[in-house]
Amino acid sequence: MKKDTLLGVFKSKGRLNKEANSKYRSPFQRDRDRIIHSASFRRLKHKTQVFVNTEGDHFRTRITHSIEVAQIARSIAKYLKLNEDLAETLSLAHDLGHTPFGHAGEDALDECMENYGGFDHNLQTLRIVMFLENKYFKFAGLNLTLETLEGLLKHNGPADDLSMVNKLIGLKTFKNKINFNTYPSLEAQISAISDDIAYNNHDIQDGIKANLFKLEELVELDFFKKIYQKYKNKINKKNYKIAIYQIIRDSIDIMIRDLLSNTEKNIKKFKIKSLKDVSKSNQLIVSFSDRIENSEQEIRSFLRHRMYDNKSVLYKNQRGKTIIKKLFKIIKSNPRKFLTKEQLTKDKYRAISDFISGMTDRYAINLYNDNK
C-alpha cells in the first residue's frame, strides 16, 4: 500500500459538540484517552468475558479482552497504513455497554426491558459515551468524534434497526451527521474482526485452562490439527502450558496473515481507492478468505458445544440471569432508593437498565445479597 493512501480516516469530521483541536494529540488519540479514563472502562476489569470474575485471576475479563482486541486491531491498521488510533479507540470502547455476567446478563436485561424498549449492548456503548459518562461542564458524555461514534454504531455493519437506535439513542441526537445505511470505515471493520480473532482464540485458551477440554482435543478442528501436528513431538508435561501459548499464538498469526492478504485482494477487486468508495461498498472489505472464515465457524461451533453449553458454565450463567432479573424487580419497586430524581426524570425503566448494565459482576452479586 502506498503511504499516501486515502483509505484511512486521518482527518476527523469533528464532534457533535464543537471543541478546539489539541496541539499535541490527534482527535482520535483524544477519543482513546477519554475512553481509557472513563469509569465505564475501569469497570470492565470486573465484568465477565465467559467465566464470572470471582472464579480466577487469570481468566479473561472484558477489560483484558478489550486490550487484546486493541492490540490486534492496531497491528492490522498499521500494516494496511490506516489510522491506528481510530482502530484502537473503537476496540477499547466496543464492550463498554456489556452487562455483568456476559451474554447471559444481556439476555436477562433484554427480557426485563421487553416492554420498555429492549436492551442492546452495542447501542448501550453509545449511550455510555454520548450520555452517561459525565465529566465535562459543556456537554453530556465524552463528545467523541463522529468517526468513533459511527464505528461504534455500525459495529456489525450498517445500522438496520433504526427504530431501536431511535429508542435507545434518538436519531436526532446525531444531528444528521451520520449516514446510517453505509458500511463503516476500514478501521471500524478491523476493530470488529479483531474482536472475533481475540475471543475465539482466547476462549480456546481459557477453556483449556478451565479443564473444559484438552489441548489434544483441538485436533478435532482441521485448523488446529495442522498447528498441533507441528509441535506434537515437543509437547510434554513440563512445557504443556508453553505449548498452549505457542499454538494460540500461531493461530492468531495465521488468521491475521490471511486477513491482511484477503483485505488487500478485496481493495483491488472492488476498486476501493478512497473513503467514499468504502462507504459506497455493499459489503465488508476487511474479511477472511473463505477457508479461514469456514475455520472460524468451526471454532465457534466447537466453543459453543464444549464451553458455552458446558453444564457448569450454563449454571453460572443462569445464576447471573436470576440476579439481574431480581435486581430489576427490586429496583423497579423502589427506584428512588437506588437512583437520583434526575436519573428517573426522563425514562424510569431506561435509567434502571443503565444502572444495571453498568454494574460489575461483584457489585451486582453484593447488591443482590444485600436486598434479598
In the predicted structure, residue 25 carries a pLDDT above the cut 50: yes
Predicted confidence band at 60 (pLDDT cuts at 50, 70, 90)?
A: confident
Highest mean pLDDT among 21-25, 102-106, 190-194, 270-274: 190-194
Instruction: Summarize pLDDT for 260-316 with one digit per residue, the tens.
Output: 999 999 999 999 999 899 988 999 999 999 999 999 999 999 999 999 999 988 998
| pLDDT confidence of residue 4 | 39
Q: What's the angle, vertex CA 19, arms to CA 18 and CA 24, rounded to 5?
A: 150
* pLDDT digits 0-9 by tens, 94-150: 999 999 998 999 999 999 999 999 999 999 999 999 999 999 999 999 999 999 999
Query: 116 phi and psi, to 5 degrees?
Result: -125, 25
Q: Give the mean model confidence (pLDDT) for residues 325-331.
A: 98
The most confident of the ranges 48-57, 247-256, 341-350 is 247-256
The amino acid that residue 45 corresponds to is K
CA 13, CA 149: separation in Å to the nearest integer? 11
Using 50, 70 and 90 to split pLDDT, how confident is the model at 51? low
Chain centroid to Cα 101, Å, comes to 15
Overall pTM surpassing 0.85 (yes/no):
yes
| pLDDT value of residue 56 | 55
* Mean pLDDT value across residues 206-235: 93
Backbone conformation region of residue 143, classed left if phi is above 0, alpha if psi is from -120 to 50, else beta: left
Contact 324, 99 (CB under 8 A): yes
pLDDT at 52 over 80: no
Q: Is residue 53 scored above 60 in pLDDT?
A: no
Say whether pLDDT at 323 is over 90: yes
Q: By mean pLDDT, which of 58-67, 104-113, 321-330, 331-340 is the weakest? A: 58-67
What was the pLDDT predicted at 1? Answer: 34
Q: What's the 3-state SS for the chain?
A: CCCCCCCCCCCCCCECCCCCCCCCCCHHHHHHHHHHCCHHHHHHHHCECCCCCCCCCCCCEHHHHHHHHHHHHHHHHHHCCCCHHHHHHHHHHCCCCCCCCHHHHHHHHHHHCCCCCCCCHHHHHHHHHHHHCCCCCCCCCCCCEHHHHHHHHCCCCCCCCHHHHHHHCCHHHHCCCCCCCCCCCHHHHHHHHHHHHHHHHHHHHHHHHCCCCCHHHHHHCHHHHHHHHHHHHHCCCCCHHHHHHHHHHHHHHHHHHHHHHHHHHHHHHCCCCCHHHHHHCCCCCCCCCHHHHHHHHHHHHHHHHHHHCCHHHHHHHHHHHHHHHHHHHHHHHCHHHCCCHHHHHHCHHHHHHHHHHCCCHHHHHHHHHHCC
Res 7: pLDDT: 80
156 pLDDT more than 90: no
pLDDT at 2: 37
Note the pLDDT of residue 358: 97
pLDDT classification of 57: cutoffs 50, 70, 90: low
Q: Quick check: 160 pLDDT over 50?
A: yes
Q: Which residue has the higher pLDDT, 55 or 328?
A: 328
Q: Determine the Cα–Cα distance for residues 345 and 238; give it in Å rounded to an integer.
A: 61
The chain-wide mean pLDDT, for the chain, equals: 93
pLDDT, mean of residues 160-175: 94
Please report, rounded to a whole number, the percentage of residues in the chain having pLDDT higher than 70: 96
CA distances from 257 to 36, 76, 173, 263, 269 (A): 29, 9, 39, 10, 18
CA–CA distance, 164 with 186 (Å, rounded to integer): 25
Pick the residue with more confidence: 149 or 4? 149
pLDDT of residue 3: 39
Looking at residue 6, its pLDDT comes to 62
* Residue in the structure block whose three cell numbers are 443482590: 368
